[in-house]
Structure 1
Amino acid sequence: MSLRATARIVAAADGSLPVLRSDGPFALRRTRSTDAYTRVTVVGAMSAPLGGDELDLEARAEDGARLAVGTAAATVALPGRTPGPAHYRVRLSVGADAALRWLPEPLVSARGSDLRARTTVELAAGARLVLREEQVLGRYGEEPGTLRSRLTVTLAGRPLLDQELAYGPGAPGGWDGPAVLAGHRAVGQLLLVAPEFEAKPAEAALLGEYAAVTPLAGPAALVSAVAADALGLRRTLDEAQSALVPF
């Protein structure tokens, strides 16, 4: 039997969490913070996503709020008894003069799984965002499942980024070729949005051999990277975040 679940987080400017609603595999916990951010950790309460699951995770930082969200462990997409793909939808909203740091652990596409991951972000004018996505194609020594991932971001009602990626069986040919992954099994991106980029845009640059910074048509920058494994990918994205985040 497939699972349907929706979890919600709402953070207010005074540091409170008016909404913290756990559901299904998403156990939401407020965790200690050492800075101005209200921190929430998503703890996996059961194995998910499995084939046929419909999972939604929503977070909103209201005007003036500072919210940081992470996960306690990697998310592993697995095959299930129900035919058809699993759907994992993340919806993020950041109000005026608010900031959101969305920094989950990697998503692992296990052999035999079929996952459709969709992240939608709506940013008000003046909002700040740090968003990291990491995908590991297969566990150690195994081939990956099928993974289709889309990230759509709007800023003040205008499109900022709309990107779709596909890997594994059934994906368009060439996904593992020299022009895409070139045999690497970890792929990720770091999206940075901040008003500070209006006065001083990020510069296009290579980060080592397998990562690059791309300034976007807006106060934003995108870091794209591939690596042999999750550890190498995280190291690259962490270095980029330390160097580029202006707030």
Structure 2
Amino acid sequence: MTVHATARITAVPDGRGATALPVLESDGPLALRRTRATVAPCARVTVVGAMSAPLGGDRLAIETRVEDGARLTVDSAAATVALPGPGPDVRPATYDIALTVGEGAELNWLPEQLISARGSELRMTTRAELAETARLVLREEQILGRHGETTGTLISRLTVRRAGRPLLDQQVAYGPGAPGGWDGGAVLGGHRAVGQLLVVDPAFEDKCPDTRLLGPTAVLTRLVGPAVLVTAVAPDARLLRSVLDGALDEVAAG
């Protein structure tokens, strides 16, 4: 049995300098919980997996809207594990994330890792629509295979538009059926943890970090617009997170 589920989050200013959550709608395996924020004006929502998902054939989605002036952080309680379906002819699973951030609003999208288990097939899309003065911090981490196993098939696309114009549109593919060379020296070089950190900040209009290497397997790239993209590979999830956290601290410090 496949699962079709869409969870929804809406964040708005509460009129007292903080952020309210008038819509917090869980569905299927996507359970949403309001949790304590580390910064008071910023609301925080944690996604808690209520069952094993996504399995082959599942259709999962999260829609998040941050209205003008609101501040929201979304994270998750544990890694998401893409698993094989119940039979050989099951269609790929899909996981679609839609983010909308209004004027003067801020969204920190910081889920835990996505693990592509052997035999799974997942197609993931993340689409972000940002107002001109919106701020976005978005982290993606993909672990190709659980310990001691090969990866499943993972196709992931990230599309970001700012003020109605394209800012970033890229797709990656790993595992069986992906274009040749994905695990070669020009792409992963034998690593099985890959991630990226996107920071879109209107403050970068005046001063934006320059493109540069961040160690032997990570690079910070200045985008056309007030944004930077950090891309990294690592032997495991722990080292990948360390690289991305360090990059975020460096970008925040200017």
Q: TM-score, normalised by structure 1?
A: 0.99
User: Over residues 60-93 of structure 1, what are the superposed CA-to-partner deviations in whole Å (9 max), with x where a residue is unaligned?
Assistant: 1100000000000000000011511000000000
Paired position in structure 1 for 2:146: 139
Say if 2:10 is the partner of 1:10. Answer: yes
Paired position in structure 1 for 2:251: 244
User: Runs ≥4 in structure 1, deviation > 6 angstroms?
Assistant: none
User: Over residues 190-227 of structure 1, what are the superposed CA-to-partner deviations in whole Å (9 max), with x where a residue is unaligned?
Assistant: 00000111100110010110000000000000000000
Cα distance in 1, alignment partners of residues 195 and 97 from structure 2:
16
Q: How many residues align?
A: 247
Return the offset for 1:246. Answer: 6.2
Match 1:32 to one of 20, 36, 46: 36
Cα distance in 2, alignment partners of residues 72 and 26 from structure 1:
11
Cα distance in 2, alignment partners of residues 96 and 191 from structure 1:
18
Cα distance in 2, alignment partners of residues 244 and 130 from structure 1:
11
Match 1:189 to one of 187, 196, 202: 196
Tell whether the 8 Å contact from 1:192 to 1:245 is kept in structure 2 after alignment: no
Say if 2:70 is the partner of 1:65. Answer: yes
1:106-185 counterparts in 2 under 5 A? Answer: 106-185=113-192
- 2:233 is paired with a residue whose SS is strand
- 1:208 is paired with a residue whose SS is coil
Paired position in structure 1 for 2:48: 43
User: Over residues 89-129 of structure 1, what are the superposed CA-to-partner deviations in whole Å (9 max), with x where a residue is unaligned?
Assistant: 00000000000000000000000000000000000010000
- 1:117 is paired with a residue whose SS is strand
Cα distance in 1, alignment partners of residues 132 and 38 from structure 2:
27
Return the offset for 1:245. Answer: 2.7
- Return the letter of the residue paired with 1:89: D
Aligned identity (percent) is: 65
Tell whether the 8 Å contact from 1:196 to 1:246 is kept in structure 2 after alignment: no
- Return the letter of the residue paired with 1:21: E
Cα distance in 1, alignment partners of residues 38 and 152 from structure 2:
38
Structure 1: give runs of 5+ residues left out of the alignment: none
Structure 2: give runs of 5+ residues left out of the alignment: none
1:225-236 counterparts in 2 under 5 A? Answer: 225-236=232-243
- Return the letter of the residue paired with 1:127: A
- 1:164 is paired with a residue whose SS is strand
